[in-house]
Amino acid sequence: MDFLARREYGRGELVKKLADKGFDRDIAEQCVATLAAEGLQSDARFAESFVQSRINQGKGPVRIRLDLGQRGIGDAAIEISLEDSGADWYALARETRIKKFGAARPGEFKEKARQMRFLQYRGFEQDHIQAAVGADGE
């Protein structure tokens, strides 16, 4: 309960945290299952807050999917939380690029490639990156 009072946790993440603190893994899984049944722990709620937090950091959908998957969240919950976020990935990629590199579009190929790599690392899809950097139609 102390962990959940601070922030949301995914089921797998919470079990791992309890096991790392010295609790028996089977007992930790039973306790987390009880918390989930009572509505105190929810993977969907965790995914929703995680997606919003990553969007605020300027991360794209590819990176968010990967991070949630590593935290043991199922594909269905990930897709629902991404869809429910209502994020405009094109606008977010553009804003992230402008925040890092300024408003001017890159002129040289080397600079354009650098900005595209940055956005790819941030987890944006290729069409989001091309729209943000201006690579489409140039």
Per residue of the chain (138 residues), give pLDDT as tens.
Answer: 778 888 888 888 888 888 888 888 899 889 889 988 988 888 889 999 999 999 999 999 999 999 999 988 989 999 999 999 999 999 999 999 999 999 898 889 999 999 999 999 999 999 999 999 985 434
Cα Rg of the chain (Å, integer): 19
pLDDT at 2: 75
pLDDT at 135: 56
Tell me if residue 1 falls in helix, strand or coil. Answer: coil
What CATH code is carried by the domain that includes residue 25?
A: 1.10.10
What CATH code is carried by the domain that includes residue 62?
A: 1.10.10.10
Residues 14 and 35 placed together within one structural domain of the fold: yes
Domain that holds residue 34: 1-41
Residues 36 and 50 placed together within one structural domain of the fold: no
Q: Is residue 113, in this structure, part of any structural domain at all?
A: yes
Q: Is residue 138, in this structure, part of any structural domain at all?
A: no
Give Dmax over CA atoms of the chain in angstroms.
Answer: 59
Helices (H), 72-137: 75-85, 89-101, 109-122, 126-133
Q: How many domains does the chain have?
A: 3
